[in-house]
Amino acid sequence: MRNVDQENHATPGYSEPGKQKAHATPLLIKLFPFMRPHVAKYAILLVLTALASIIGILPPFMMQIAVDNYLSHLDENGILMICLLVILYGVFGGLIGFCSTYVRDYLGQRIVMDMRIKLYQHVNQLSFSYFDKTRTGDIMARVISDTMQLQAYMTMGLINLATNIVTLAGVLTILFFWKTVIGMIFLIDVPFILIGMHFFSRKVAPANQRIRKANGIIGASIQDCLSGIREVKLYGREQFMLKVFDTWNDEYYNATIESNKQSAFWMPYVPFLVSASSGVVLMIGGIMVALTEFTPGQLIATVAYFTLLVGPLRMITRFLGMHAMASAAGNRIFDILDLQPAIRDLPGAFSVSDVQGHVQYKNVSFQYAESHEILKDIDLNIPPGKVVAFVGPSGVGKTTLLHLLPRFYDVTSGEVDIDGKDIKSFTLESLRRNVGIVMQDTFLFDGTIADNIAFGNTQASKEMIQAAARIARLDQFIESLPNGYKTPIGERGVFLSGGQAQRLSLARVLIMNPKILILDEPTANVDAVTDRQIIDAVRDTMKGRTTLIIAHRLWTIHHADMIVLLKDGKIEAKGTHQELWEKSAFYREFFASQIQPESLNGAEGKQS
């Protein structure tokens, strides 16, 4: 076996996602809320399975009656009656088996559905800071496979446990009732079984842990390789990716073999104990039959009962393994469910409407968790309806600064106000309804172009969608497609270029008609001519809106009421282009190196 830990150092990022923390509350108590709505079905299931267990106990008993009462006297009617009973029992048992399997599977599917919906809803509410540090593949594994593990535990596992306990108790009662000594022989097995189970779980648990870890990493590496397939090919890293994959597949294989080996070794242990004691029973029972203390029928039935005990004992052993796996799955699921979204409505938050668009940053500082301070002492006062351009070197914190306004992150200190009120006093929903944002990189959903434009307002009319596309200068392109606005995006439809995607994202925001508009390099991926067209069109719609725009193009900056220049996380200077040009050497320097000259086009010449 390869040394996986060493390999792991060579491939950073492929370590186990998210450290597991122990949960103090027992698993069943945490799972109870998911089981409570289905109490009635659980009760039906328990009754059915208890019945099934009792029926399962009957055959040896019938055998005993057949042998002792009828066979010994060759009572034909009696034998016939037992035969009929056995057939009837078969029909009845089958019927109960059908009903309980149906109810159990129904229950299981309901539970897994409820759990997935709950998880999905919760994940949707978590804040950006959570997604910054969690891998998508990890969340997916929790929503898909961990819920299934719990479902199996909550239906099959728990119900089987109950059934098997009923069977065990029933058989023991009969054995003790017949002959205490015989019951005792079985009880002698118990400590040996417990010791065996203990060794088994101690051997198999580490292997199962390795399987889970390898499984997670295999998933993550497939995801990485597929999302980064261009880079993988471009840099010729196929072999390397394969090697990572291979290493962890190897580990998965070895751990599974190890786990199976342990199971294979320990599985015959319980049957062995039981058969050994059956032998002892046969001997002691035989002597007792000779002494007429025990009937031949009872002896035959007792041996049959001993065989019957193998199943339940094995199932109980297996349940312990299942419980360990379910606990781990439960921990991973409740890790998410117990997490409070970092950003949420404060008590007393109110829904804001009629926003004027007066934006103020008051002494704002910010840092991402565990990072250095990104923004320091930011003071800004942006009157309603003004257009403010943010410029500065890449990585200085422009995007971060504007992401504080819709509360993607909360300020570390200071305050952001809209219309003189702290944005934390508004409900998140109403705040974000009033702050539209075109992000630096755009995500398009599976669906048509129209669906994607109307993403934030599913009630939008066709005319509204078209108007938004027109402003974003996307209308001509869409209308040139055979299916127009109904064209699906992606595999089965049209692929959009970076610039087109960005314009679609602009249309998506415009349809929301927000009072405050944030544009994060909205024209970074379009040519200078389109840039101008978009900015001109947006300028029309900017009337009456406060617009905060991160831009590198002179045309955009030129039309701003105020330019804010950021440097080292602070505001270096603010004012009009003219003012900045005159007072800030950094601005002149920055301008000369950063602002794309092709958009000048004689539109102005103040800087030269």
Residues at the contact surface with Mg ion, assessed by CB under 5 A: 399
Comparison of 185 and 401: residue with beta carbon closer to Mg ion? 401
Comparison of 126 and 333: residue with beta carbon closer to ligand ADP? 126
420 binds, among Mg ion, ligand ADP, none (CB under 5 to 8 A by kind): none
Residue with nearest beta carbon to Mg ion: 399
508 binds, among Mg ion, ligand ADP, none (CB under 5 to 8 A by kind): none
What does the binding site for ligand ADP look like in residue numbers (CB under 6 A)?
132, 368, 371, 374, 394-400
Spatial contact of 213 and 20, defined as CB atoms under 8 Å apart? no
371 binds, among Mg ion, ligand ADP, none (CB under 5 to 8 A by kind): ligand ADP
Least gap, CB of 552 to ligand ADP (angstroms): 11
Cα separations (Å) of 185 from 58, 175, 278, 464?
21, 10, 9, 83
347 binds, among Mg ion, ligand ADP, none (CB under 5 to 8 A by kind): none
CB-count burial class (<10 Å; 0-12, 13-18, 19+) for 309: buried
Q: Which two tokens stand for residue 116?
A: 């997935």
Q: What is the DSSP letter of 532?
A: H
Spatial contact of 519 and 456, defined as CB atoms under 8 Å apart? no
**Other residues' Cβ atoms within 10 Å of the Cβ of residue 562:** 19
Comparison of 63 and 548: residue with beta carbon closer to ligand ADP? 548
Rounded to 10°, the helix 180-227/296-337 angle is: 30
Alpha-carbon dihedral angle through residues 448, 449, 451, 455, given to the nearest 10 degrees: 140
CA-CA distance, 378 to 391, in Å (whole number)? 14
**Other residues' Cβ atoms within 10 Å of the Cβ of residue 24:** 5
374 binds, among Mg ion, ligand ADP, none (CB under 5 to 8 A by kind): ligand ADP
Comparison of 157 and 397: residue with beta carbon closer to ligand ADP? 397
Report the DSSP beta bridge partners of residue 574: 564
Comparison of 11 and 399: residue with beta carbon closer to Mg ion? 399
Comparison of 158 and 560: residue with beta carbon closer to Mg ion? 560
12 binds, among ligand ADP, Mg ion, none (CB under 5 to 8 A by kind): none
Least gap, CB of 374 to ligand ADP (angstroms): 5
Comparison of 314 and 552: residue with beta carbon closer to Mg ion? 552
Question: DSSP string of 364-417?
Answer: EEE--TTS---EEEEEEEE-TT-EEEEE--TTSSHHHHHHTTTTSS--SEEEEE
CA-CA distance, 527 to 500, in Å (whole number)? 11
Least gap, CB of 357 to ligand ADP (angstroms): 22
Contacts of 398 (CB under 8 A, 6+ apart): 390, 391, 392, 520, 550, 566
Least gap, CB of 331 to ligand ADP (angstroms): 26
522 binds, among ligand ADP, Mg ion, none (CB under 5 to 8 A by kind): none
Least gap, CB of 591 to ligand ADP (angstroms): 16
Spatial contact of 425 and 596, defined as CB atoms under 8 Å apart? no
236 binds, among ligand ADP, Mg ion, none (CB under 5 to 8 A by kind): none
CA-CA distance, 532 to 498, in Å (whole number)? 17
Comparison of 15 and 399: residue with beta carbon closer to Mg ion? 399
Q: Which two tokens stand for residue 237?
A: 């890293």
CA-CA distance, 386 to 384, in Å (whole number)? 6
Comparison of 49 and 547: residue with beta carbon closer to Mg ion? 547
Q: Which two tokens stand for residue 267?
A: 């599985």
528 binds, among Mg ion, ligand ADP, none (CB under 5 to 8 A by kind): none
Q: SS3 letters for 8-34?
A: HHHCCCCCCCCCCCCCCCCHHHHHHHH
348 binds, among ligand ADP, Mg ion, none (CB under 5 to 8 A by kind): none
Comparison of 399 and 576: residue with beta carbon closer to Mg ion? 399
CA-CA distance, 259 to 209, in Å (whole number)? 10
Least gap, CB of 436 to ligand ADP (angstroms): 18
Q: How many CA atoms lie within 13 A of 568 on its CB side?
A: 2
Least gap, CB of 332 to ligand ADP (angstroms): 23
User: 251-268: b or e for each residue (b if 16 or more CB lie within 10 Å)?
Assistant: bbebbbebbeebeeebee
Least gap, CB of 499 to ligand ADP (angstroms): 19
395 binds, among ligand ADP, Mg ion, none (CB under 5 to 8 A by kind): ligand ADP
Least gap, CB of 530 to Mg ion (angstroms): 20
Comparison of 53 and 502: residue with beta carbon closer to Mg ion? 502
432 binds, among Mg ion, ligand ADP, none (CB under 5 to 8 A by kind): none
Least gap, CB of 378 to ligand ADP (angstroms): 12
Least gap, CB of 368 to ligand ADP (angstroms): 3
Comparison of 399 and 425: residue with beta carbon closer to ligand ADP? 399
605 binds, among ligand ADP, Mg ion, none (CB under 5 to 8 A by kind): none
Cα separations (Å) of 321 from 2, 69, 198, 206, 229?
27, 44, 11, 12, 39
Q: Which of 249, 261, 265, 169 is nearest to 211 (CA)?
A: 249
Least gap, CB of 389 to ligand ADP (angstroms): 13
Name the strand (E) or helix (H) holding 84: helix 76-125
Least gap, CB of 156 to ligand ADP (angstroms): 42
**What one-letter code names the amino acid at 250?**
D
Comparison of 274 and 396: residue with beta carbon closer to ligand ADP? 396
